[in-house]
Amino acid sequence: MPRIVVTGSESTGKTTLAGWLAQSLATIWVPEHSRAYAERVNRSLTASDVEPIASGQLRDEEAGIAAWRARFAAQEAPPPLILDTDLVSTTVYAEHYYGSCPAWIMSAARARLGDLYLLCATDVVWVADGVRDREDERAVLDAAFRARLRDVGADVEEVSGSSPQRLAQALAAVDRWARGG
């Protein structure tokens, strides 16, 4: 089952892009678990939240995979499953905010590597929403994402510009990926 992961620093339009991409491709998408988790616990996150977030991300992905299989398994050329972040993102955020990440999460991230990563550039306006913080560290976090994606050998395409430009770039990247190049 092909998986496309939308990833990147905070407040870069990942969720918007993932939703639009899924709608454009008429497929299923898995929302970012850490956002729902942060809203549910309603407090500042700590290092002790990393493992529950990762476990929740895995559960959400498995539910998305099951829904995708139920809907598309019989198709000869099914659309990809869209993930609004994945465990690779969890590892980057854990190391950035808390200085380390449990080894099992890194192992699981490598084992579940997506087929294509759409890295959202930081060229959009920061939107404070009560969950995001550290606007001044977006460039540092962006560099950490680029390094981690390189380290795990991910196939990466950067998307930038306005939301419609990002969607057009993402659709073109998915099309190139689907054609094998």
Q: Give residue limits of the domains in the chain.
A: 3-178
* Cα dihedral: 92, 41, 28, 127 (round 10): -70
pLDDT tens track for 92-104: 999 999 999 999 9
62: left (phi over 0), alpha (psi -120 to 50) or beta: alpha
Question: Strand ranges (DSSP E) for the chain?
Answer: 3-8, 29-30, 81-84, 116-120, 156-159
The predicted structure's pLDDT at residue 128: 66
Q: Amino acid letter at 43?
A: R
pLDDT tens track for 119-135: 999 998 867 665 546 66
126, 13 Cβ separation under 8 angstroms: no
- Look over the chain and give the mean of its residue pLDDT values, rounded to a whole number: 93
Query: Residues near 81 by Cβ (< 8 Å), separated by ≥ 6?
Result: 1, 2, 3, 4, 27, 28, 29, 30, 64, 65, 68
Q: What single-letter DSSP state applies at residue 52?
A: H
- The pTM of the full predicted model, rounded to 2 decimals, is 0.93
Tell me how far apart the 2 most distant CA atoms of the chain are, in Å. 47
Burial state string for 62-75 with b = 16 or more CB within 10 A and e = fewer than 16: eebbeebeeebeee
Indicate if the alpha-carbon torsion angle 173, 144, 3, 39 is positive or negative: negative
pLDDT tens track for 37-75: 998 999 889 999 999 999 999 999 999 999 999 999 999
Task: State what percent of residues in the chain have pLDDT above 90.
Answer: 85
CATH class of 3-178: alpha beta
Indicate if the alpha-carbon torsion angle 134, 107, 54, 83 is positive or negative: positive
Q: Amino acid letter at 1?
A: M
Task: State what percent of residues in the chain have pLDDT above 70.
Answer: 94
Chain-centroid distance of CA 98 in Å reads 19
